[in-house]
Amino acid sequence: MKKIGVLTSGGDSPGMNAAIRAVVRKSIFHDMEVYGIYNGYQGLIDGNIKKMEIGSVGDIIQRGGTILYTARSDEFRTEEGREKAIAQLKKFGIEGLIVIGGDGSFRGAEKLTQKGYPCIGVPGTIDNDIPGTDFTIGFDTALNTVIEAIDKIRDTATSHERTYVVEVMGRHAGDLALWAGLADGAESILIPEHADDFEDVIERLKRGKDRGKKHSIIVLAEGVGSGMDFGQRIKDATNLETRVTVLGHTQRGGSPTAADRVLASRLGAKAVDLLLEGKAGRVVGIQNNKLVDHDILEILDEEHQVDFQMYELSKQLSI
């Protein structure tokens, strides 16, 4: 393989740039040409493609977002759209593709692989919801952003003796809420995988109040429901002074942590190695600190599992 392409797709995450850098530098190290495809699959369809040099990825390892931009492309979901994308790959002589993104992006990568264009998926999402890897690129940074915010909220919660509901990202996966809640000693954590816990939250708040506890932090993953509604329900049920903070897109940005930069560098380089070995339709990951790769279809069939032992532990530690 002499020419490969790299794109970022779906939701962005901090560390994607470090992954792009690793792909570009590792390819050039192995005497391959590497093309940056801008705006995800839509850019591939539109031919928004540029050859990358060593210097193209200088000074980006520490930056959030993605220098290749990202997009969602409905056109790529259609057979005609993908034919246009393949025509561009042919035009540029690109033989294989590295797709940095989430499971939606991997579905697109699988379709291209079936058409004879080997793709390797690199898991980049703050949700940590890709099976086959312990961590996805961006999760650690988002987690640190969340705990920094909650630490600050806790200060004012203590001063004013209030109950705070903090809504964090995670439509389907509770990892961010769970890890942040555990790292911050939250009184309750609500995750989509265990969404029926409202009564338990109220019970805990009442118990805390009886013990003289004057403030509480409740971390809620957005997939469970709206933080605003939840805050109102808590107020109605307990009469505690309750405030709600929705952290929103602050969680998706910022300079990646060391852990994310290292992970992104390792996974990006591994993806290049796989293409060089003639592999196709794989997703790279890290399990027990070892680099691994799995069949894309296997990853897409499986469902991400939240760590229920950790969930139970968080309850035991916040009695």
The alpha carbon dihedral of 24, 113, 297, 223 has a sign of positive
66 binds ligand ADP (CB under 6 A): no
- Give whichever of 136 and 318 is closer to ligand ADP, judged by the CB atom: 136
Part of the chain binding ligand ADP (CB under 6 A), chosen from 30-38, 68-76, 247-255, 261-269: 68-76
14 binds ligand ADP (CB under 6 A): no
CA gap 6, 106 in Å, rounded: 13
Among 61, 174, 44, 36, smallest CA distance to 108 is for 44
- Give whichever of 200 and 303 is closer to ligand ADP, judged by the CB atom: 303
Cβ(279)–Cβ(293) under 8 Å?
A: yes
- Give whichever of 12 and 33 is closer to ligand ADP, judged by the CB atom: 12
CB atoms near residue 301 (< 10 Å) = 9
CB-closest chain residue to ligand ADP? 104
Part of the chain binding ligand ADP (CB under 6 A), chosen from 103-111, 212-220, 233-241, 286-294: 103-111
Catalytic residues: 127
Smallest gap from Cβ 13 to ligand ADP, in A, equals 9
315 binds ligand ADP (CB under 6 A): no
Q: Kindly report the CA angle at 11 between 193 and 192, in degrees rounded to 5?
A: 10
11 binds ligand ADP (CB under 6 A): yes
Smallest gap from Cβ 47 to ligand ADP, in A, equals 16
Buried b (16+ CB within 10 A) or exposed e, 105-128: bbebbbbbbeeebbbbbbbbbbbb
Site for ligand ADP in 30-49 (CB under 6 A): 41
CA atoms within 13 A on the CB side of 140: 16
Q: Kindly report the CA angle at 291 between 289 and 292, in degrees rounded to 5?
A: 120
Site for ligand ADP in 117-136 (CB under 6 A): 125
Among 73, 188, 251, 314, binds ligand ADP (CB under 6 A): 73
Helices (H), the chain: 16-29, 40-46, 79-92, 103-114, 139-160, 175-184, 198-210, 227-238, 258-276, 296-301, 308-317
Among 72, 172, 194, 315, binds ligand ADP (CB under 6 A): 72
Q: Under rule CB under 6 A, how many of the chain's residues touch ligand ADP? A: 17
Buried b (16+ CB within 10 A) or exposed e, 277-293: eebbbbbbbbeeeebeb
Part of the chain binding ligand ADP (CB under 6 A), chosen from 54-62, 70-78, 164-172, 231-239: 70-78
Part of the chain binding ligand ADP (CB under 6 A), chosen from 53-61, 97-105, 149-157, 211-219: 97-105
What Cα–Cα distance (Å) separates residue 64 from each residue in 59, 93, 137, 175? 12, 30, 11, 20
Smallest gap from Cβ 85 to ligand ADP, in A, equals 10
Smallest gap from Cβ 283 to ligand ADP, in A, equals 12
Which residues in this chain contact ligand ADP in the complex, by CB under 6 A? Answer: 9-11, 41, 72-73, 76-77, 101-105, 107-108, 111, 125
